[in-house]
Amino acid sequence: MKSKVFIILIILFMMSGCGSKTKTLYCTATSSEEGRTSESELRIRVKNEEVQDMRLTLNMTLSKEEKAYREMIMDQMRQKTDKVYATNEGVKAIFGMDSSYFEGFGISKEASIGEIKQVLELQGYSCK
């Protein structure tokens, strides 16, 4: 009798979602254009096949000419995040996003890690 009650409690626990684990996907991409190199790092958290949030870290290496406009570039980034930093090579910014931003990447809020990875790799990201 005790074992049946224990099994029922385990099943109820699993069905309630309390036992589900948040999975994290890390993706990176690098692009270059007119002397500027951008490195993007994405961290995406998924729980129960539903996107929880995403963090985008952008490191931009600016050309000599662009460095004169570094403050202007940083001011534009500050309109979206307060985590903007000057680096020796250019600018670093960290953007925290909730699940509503995923539509821009072609990802539904309800998606598995595998589906998200597939979409991002088609867009040039390398994921692990």
pLDDT, average across residues 1-10:
46
Cα distance between residue 1 and residue 120, in whole Å:
50
Q: Which residue has the higher pLDDT, 101 or 19?
A: 101
pLDDT tens figures, 85-109: 999 999 999 999 876 666 666 666 7
pTM of the model: 0.75
- Delimit the domains of the chain by residue range: 20-127
Residue 10 has pLDDT above 60, yes or no: no
Residue appearing with tokens 């534009």: 76
* DSSP three-state, residue 20: coil
Tell me what the mean pLDDT of segment 112-123 comes to.
89
Residue 55 CA to its chain's centroid (Å): 4
For residues 45 and 54, the answer to whether their CB atoms sit within 8 Å is yes
Instruction: Supply 117's token pair.
Output: 């990875």
Provide the β-strand partners of residue 51.
46
**Cα 117 to Cα 114: distance, rounded to the nearest angstrom:** 5
Collapse the DSSP code of 66 into the 3-class scheme (helix H, G, I; strand E, B; otherwise coil) and give the result.
helix
Apex CA 68: angle with CA 62 and CA 71, to 5°? Answer: 85
- Residue 31 pairs in a beta bridge with 38
Residue 2 has pLDDT above 90, yes or no: no
